[in-house]
Amino acid sequence: MQLYNTLSAEERAELIDQAGKQRLTLSFYAYAKIEDPKKFRDDLFIAWNQLDALGRTYVAKEGINAQMSIPAENMEAFRKTLEAYDFMKNIRLNVAVEHDDHSFLKLTVKVRDKIVADGLNDETFDVTNIGVHLKAKEFNQILEDPNTIVVDFRNHYESEIGHFKGAITPDVETFRESLPIINEQLKDFKDDKNLVMYCTGGIRCEKASAYFKHQGFKNVFQLEGGIINYAKQIKEENIESKFIGKNFVFDHRLGERITNDIVSQCHQCGKPCDNHTNCENDGCHLLFIQCDECKAAMENCCSTECLNTIHLPLVEQVKLRRGIQVGNKVFRKGKSDKLLFKHSGELSDKSLAVAENREQKPKDIRQKIKIKKVLLGKAEHYYVKAQVGLFIIQNNELNVGDKLLISGPTTGTEEYILGKMLVNGKEISTANPGDKVTFEVPFRVRLSDKLYKIIS
């Protein structure tokens, strides 16, 4: 019974390309009482893995929150796995406007304390007493009312590339930060204003609307299905988009275009741009906006310091980041004094440029899989003084002279041409599945590392 991923993102991307089948990107959520989240999680993983479903899902005692990539031909079977549970019968699936077969490359289902980190004590208010759900046309109408205040409940790096015209866009990094800020900012309008809120797929507003009603706001509304569902409805019904720009999404795409307006700038040169990327330096991995020209000049890095770092030997890079944590725990998403054209807080509704109607460029993941490789086995030990690695061959044949690739989360990706090796203690030129192999490796390898043979 498989309860975890066995393929890397690159291997999964290769299989998707080979299959050549259309995949759909979608999201959904549901609040419900789940008595045993661990069993619920395991059951979902088993069912979804059989359908080649990929994505990131959080389950908790309060419900489920998921962003997924599903083969189009398995859509009905996938829906049946949801509707096997009473609380997900007729659940709304927010299907993306733009599809990318590589939007998700792993299936991750995690048990969490909450499906959204809101920082609220749910025992102190009625979480089911939510605001009025508005469809796209109704949402547009209420925005025209001068008595309406519209609030973006997403984070600064999301609203920067796209937002509803006239919306309050809090300069926050997390959902939990926005709640007390908005409550204080709007405390004088609880009785006589329409508090209208929106987020990516609706889940943040579901809890926030109940919270603000508890805080005394009389007229609370929320965009049903969030921006994702809004984009689908305005396209189907041919109505005006009050949203301008791109909708940030939490998969490999990092955004799907709602209108052709570009409302943000490259954080490095100031050119109109709304393409997010992550810094190439694994010791930084900062999320920021970068145009094609800066991407080429800076080699996908956010600063000259990071550019210099990625050209160091891998051993030196590992030393520099040893003992630190990367990502959210250290670096602010899109916040750095190196980013000269970053904007957050009060944002303009002015379009800076019009996006070209062109096919999306290949994603980084597709560039990585140009290296064709086959999995040989995994690392078992590394003898530091002798600089020798021990590997177990699990698949395929290994020969002296093969070009190898050793890959792992700490080691990174290193290529190596095999000069000689010991197979089960004897120096021979060929190793087969089941053999223990040792050979010199000029860099440290770890138990999590995988051994590949490059075939093209």
Q: Please identify every residue annotated as catalytic.
A: 199
48 class by beta-carbon count within 10 Å (0-12 exposed, 13-18 middle, 19+ buried): buried
Strand 450-454 relative to strand 398-399: parallel, antiparallel, unpaired?
unpaired
DSSP-based three-state secondary structure for 184 = helix
**DSSP one-letter string for 119-176:** ---GGGS-TT---EEE-HHHHHHHHTSTTEEEEE-S-HHHHTTEEETT-B----SSHH
Dist CA 129 CA 211 (whole Å): 9
DSSP H helices in 198-356: 203-214, 226-237, 292-298, 304-310, 314-321
**DSSP one-letter string for 327-374:** GGGTS-TT--TT-TT---SS------EE----PPPPPHHHHHTTS-EE
State the CB neighbour count (10 A cutoff) for residue 136. Answer: 24
Q: Angle CA(118)–CA(121)–CA(125) in degrees, nearest 5?
A: 110
Residue 441 pairs in a beta bridge with none
The structure tokens listed for 278 are 């992550």
